[in-house]
């Protein structure tokens, strides 16, 4: 049974601390870190936390610990002490044995699902059917998909779900504008994707609505009164009420226009390479939410105002009052989110309910958890809001109503054009057929887009720069994709010219500094996946992949591989190349990125 060097060191350190100094330290409490590059060593223990209890100086404690650990752990070749930092040098034999162990795993670092663990439900995308997907949705979809893959890689069972916001005042705005100004236009007659066509009329509504507001204000109304009394807005609200009452004409138009949108969404999802295990629709969940609102009224945890609207008083929780039903009986987002949460918990019996939603909804999810608790659902604490920052462009923020968004389809097409131009400039596609070239351009475009977005910590706002994202050098997706293609070329040559296969055992050889650095980076993968999953952070995986690609390229530049004359060393280096390629494939797959065999 393979035991990692970290576990052996942690066991020896905790045992020594407890035996020599009467401490009560468990293995999990011993924190090791990679030794800084300027010092000799592979793993470092900071001894300062134990100095007071041991009644030793940092240097004295570190030296005593180092000597005892070296005697217990044969893999420790030597140690050195820099003030309170105990640096362990691990013997080459451990690293070559580890490489052999890693080679025996098709997907080293990834765990299999535990059948006894409840599933984790991850909701993402959640589009409105009044507009096409834009750059903000792209970050949401890529983050949701990647977090799902990450939790799966860490051994979880994940259910990916989408809640389509297919009803509400915003949907009625597009419907009304199409009735007023559309002249029967369809996706077929216009040549527009369905979601683009419907989004066009959402913008059209806002344009005419603003004109009406301006005219009413010119007549002496305040801005608030003008917005309420604008004929278009009043008609949209009447349409929403008719929809909730089941008006056949309104429902027929709603189904037709939503059908256009779904076809458009599905095409964009396919381009992005994302999907779902189940899709929920607000039109099917809001009634359950209304039932929960009535339950809250019956329990006395909600109250009704004189105008008929229903509210929850959250002042005891340091918040304000939250509207759950409007005075005309129509529901709001919170209404359907209550219903969807209950439905989803019943569907999956989930261990966690993760909502991937932008940070402008932080308050919304605080309220959702509180109301669910007040309604008596003890699983409310399983609700987790994976809040992420906004995506901005060099020229500023996007606004859907004003039509100033960056459309997801247009963005992907632009990225593909840029990938084609950059590839031709660098001569990356000379040996490929035209079909293979187009496949490569798409792969590079999505790799650039996904990596650039996912390498940023989810909590941070980010500035997306398409040109910078597709560079073949630096911390980019194409750099890692090219590194993988380079490695696969080496492995193919090793098999055809040297007869070396990746199924061979790794010879026991003396490693150079660059080789050790690559192996140590591979060695860190299981811990990185575990930590990234705990933090819901694909950024940790992205930056790991970059570090591994960097370490490999440094090794590749300085070390002969196929030109190596020593047969055993040559074999070890080829095997190392193969394992790097596998780790790059798996980590990039967590990000939803494909890596090419040839470039």
* Domain limits, the chain: 5-90, 124-392, 418-590
Instruction: Find out whether 322 and 352 touch, Cβ atoms under 8 Å.
Output: no
Q: Where are the beta strands (DSSP E) in 453-589?
A: 462-463
Q: Where are the beta strands (DSSP E) in 416-529?
A: 462-463
CB atoms within 10 A of CB 26: 9
Residue 314 has pLDDT above 80, yes or no: yes
pLDDT more than 90, % of the chain: 78
State how far Cα 591 lies from the chain centre.
7
pLDDT for the residue numbered 184: 94
| Burial of residue 50 (number of CB atoms within 10 Å: 0-12, 13-18, 19+) | buried
CATH 3.30.1360.70 given to domain 5-90: yes
pLDDT for the residue numbered 399: 47
Question: For 13-36, what is the mean pLDDT?
Answer: 93
Residue 30 sits at φ, ψ, to 5 deg, of -85, 115
Element (H, E) at 193: none
pLDDT for the residue numbered 44: 97
CA quadruple 152, 154, 157, 162: dihedral sign:
negative
48 contact partners, CB below 8 Å, separation of at least 6 = 58, 84
Instruction: Match 């663990």 to its residue by tokens.
Output: 117
Instruction: Find out whether 592 and 273 touch, Cβ atoms under 8 Å.
Output: yes
Residue of 421, 425, 428 whose CA lies nearest to 489: 428
CA angle 293, 295, 301 (to 5 degrees): 80
Give the pLDDT confidence of 323-371 residue by residue, as tens digits. Answer: 999 998 888 889 989 999 999 999 999 999 999 999 999 999 999 999 9
pLDDT for the residue numbered 537: 97
Residue 470 has pLDDT above 50, yes or no: yes
Q: In whole angstroms, what is the distance from residue 16 CA to residue 66 CA?
A: 10
257 contact partners, CB below 8 Å, separation of at least 6 = 129, 174, 175, 178, 198
Residue 466 has pLDDT above 80, yes or no: no
CA quadruple 569, 571, 575, 578: dihedral sign:
positive
pLDDT for the residue numbered 405: 65
Q: Tally the C-alpha atoms within 13 A of residue 447's C-alpha that lie toward its C-beta.
A: 31
Q: In whole angstroms, what is the distance from residue 65 CA to residue 23 CA?
A: 13
Residue of 505, 400, 516 whose CA lies nearest to 137: 400
Q: In whole angstroms, what is the distance from residue 560 CA to residue 566 CA?
A: 10
Given the DSSP bridges, would you call strands 278-281 and 303-304 parallel, antiparallel or unpaired? unpaired
Specify the CATH superfamily of domain 124-392: HUPs (3.40.50.620)
Instruction: Find out whether 527 and 543 touch, Cβ atoms under 8 Å.
Output: no
Lowest mean pLDDT among 42-46, 250-254, 343-347, 504-508: 504-508
Output the DSSP codes for 135-166: HHHHHHHHHHHHHHHHHHHTT--EEEEEEEB-
Residue of 127, 189, 206, 187 whose CA lies nearest to 163: 127
Instruction: Find out whether 329 and 240 touch, Cβ atoms under 8 Å.
Output: no
The more confident residue out of 292 and 406 is 292
Q: In whole angstroms, what is the distance from residue 289 CA to residue 299 CA?
A: 15
3-state secondary structure of 530: helix
Instruction: Find out whether 105 and 143 touch, Cβ atoms under 8 Å.
Output: no
Residue 22 has pLDDT above 60, yes or no: yes
CA quadruple 232, 238, 239, 240: dihedral sign:
positive
3-state secondary structure of 393: strand
Residue 286 sits at φ, ψ, to 5 deg, of -70, -30
Element (H, E) at 443: helix 434-454
Residue 402 has pLDDT above 60, yes or no: no
Output the DSSP codes for 499-518: ---TTSPPP--PPPHHHHHH
Residue of 550, 553, 537, 545 whose CA lies nearest to 593: 545
Residue 585 has pLDDT above 50, yes or no: yes
Residue 295 sits at φ, ψ, to 5 deg, of -60, -40
Spell out the CATH class of 418-590: mainly alpha
Q: Helices 169-181 and 248-272 meet at what angle, rounded to 10?
A: 100
Residue of 448, 449, 409, 416 whose CA lies nearest to 265: 409
Q: In whole angstroms, what is the distance from residue 411 CA to residue 416 CA?
A: 9
Instruction: Find out whether 72 and 12 touch, Cβ atoms under 8 Å.
Output: yes
Considering the chain, what is the average pLDDT of its residues? Answer: 92
Q: What is the number of helices (H) and of strands (E) in the chain?
A: 22, 14
pLDDT for the residue numbered 39: 93
Confidence bin at 304 (pLDDT 50/70/90): very high
| Burial of residue 486 (number of CB atoms within 10 Å: 0-12, 13-18, 19+) | middle
What is this structure's pTM? Answer: 0.90
Instruction: Find out whether 136 and 406 touch, Cβ atoms under 8 Å.
Output: no
Give the pLDDT confidence of 145-175 residue by residue, as tens digits. Answer: 999 999 999 999 999 999 999 988 999 999 9
Q: In whole angstroms, what is the distance from residue 59 CA to residue 268 CA?
A: 60
């Amino acid at each position: 049974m393979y035991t990692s060097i970290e576990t052996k060191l942690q066991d020896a350190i905790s045992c020594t601390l407890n035996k020599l100094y009467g401490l009560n330290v468990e293995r999990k409490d011993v924190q090791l870190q990679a030794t800084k590059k300027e010092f000799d060593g592979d793993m470092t223990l900071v001894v300062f936390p134990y100095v007071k209890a041991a009644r030793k100086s940092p240097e004295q404690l570190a030296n005593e610990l180092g000597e005892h650990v070296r005697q217990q752990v044969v893999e420790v070749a030597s140690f050195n002490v820099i003030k309170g930092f105990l640096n362990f040098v691990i013997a080459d034999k451990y690293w070559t044995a580890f490489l052999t162990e890693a080679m025996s795993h098709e997907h080293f670092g990834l765990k299999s699902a535990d059948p006894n663990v409840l599933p984790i439900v991850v909701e993402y995308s959640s589009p409105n059917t009044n507009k096409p997907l834009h750059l903000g949705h792209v970050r949401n979809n890529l983050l949701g998909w990647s977090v799902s893959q990450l939790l799966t890689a860490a051994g979880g069972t994940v259910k990916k779900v989408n809640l389509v916001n297919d009803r509400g005042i915003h949907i009625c705005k597009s419907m009304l504008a199409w009735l007023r100004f559309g002249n029967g236009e369809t996706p077929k007659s216009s040549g527009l994707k369905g979601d683009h066509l419907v989004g066009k009329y959402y913008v059209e509504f806002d344009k005419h609505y603003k004109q009406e507001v301006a005219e009413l204000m010119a007549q002496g109304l305040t801005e608030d009164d003008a917005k309420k009394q604008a004929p278009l807005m009043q008609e949209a609200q009447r349409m929403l009420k008719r929809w909730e009452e089941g008006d056949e004409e309104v429902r027929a138009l709603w189904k037709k226009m939503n059908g256009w949108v779904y076809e458009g969404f599905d095409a964009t999802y396919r381009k992005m390479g994302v999907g779902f295990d189940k899709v929920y629709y607000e039109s099917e969940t809001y009634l359950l939410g209304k039932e929960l609102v009535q339950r809250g009224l019956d329990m006395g945890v909600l109250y009704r105002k004189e105008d008929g609207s229903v509210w929850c008083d959250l002042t005891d929780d340091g918040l304000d009052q939250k509207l759950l039903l409007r005075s005309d009986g129509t529901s709001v987002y919170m209404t359907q989110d209550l219903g969807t949460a209950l439905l989803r918990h019943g569907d999956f019996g989930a261990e966690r309910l993760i909502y991937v939603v932008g940070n402008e909804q932080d308050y919304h999810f605080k309220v959702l958890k509180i109301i669910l608790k007040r309604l008596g659902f003890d699983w409310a604490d399983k609700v987790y809001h994976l809040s992420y920052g906004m995506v901005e462009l060099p020229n500023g923020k996007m606004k859907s109503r004003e039509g100033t968004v960056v459309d997801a389809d247009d963005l992907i097409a632009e990225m593909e054009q840029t990938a084609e131009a950059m590839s031709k400039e660098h001569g990356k596609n000379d040996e490929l057929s035209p079909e293979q070239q187009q496949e490569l351009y798409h792969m590079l475009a999505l790799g650039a887009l996904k990596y650039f977005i996912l390498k940023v910590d989810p909590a941070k706002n980010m500035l997306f720069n398409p040109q910078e994202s597709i560079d073949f050098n630096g911390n980019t997706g194409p750099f890692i994709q090219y590194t993988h293609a380079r490695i696969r070329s080496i492995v193919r040559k090793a098999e055809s010219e040297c007869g070396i296969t990746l199924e061979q055992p790794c010879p026991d050889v003396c490693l150079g500094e660059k080789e050790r650095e690559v192996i140590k980076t591979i060695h860190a993968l299981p811990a990185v996946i575990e930590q990234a999953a705990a933090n819901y952070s694909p950024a940790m995986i992205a930056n790991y992949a970059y570090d591994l690609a960097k370490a490999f390229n440094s090794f590749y530049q300085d070390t002969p591989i196929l030109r190596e004359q020593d047969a055993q060393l040559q074999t070890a280096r080829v095997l190392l190349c193969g394992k790097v390629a596998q780790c790059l494939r798996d980590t990039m797959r967590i990000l939803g990125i494909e890596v090419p065999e040839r470039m």
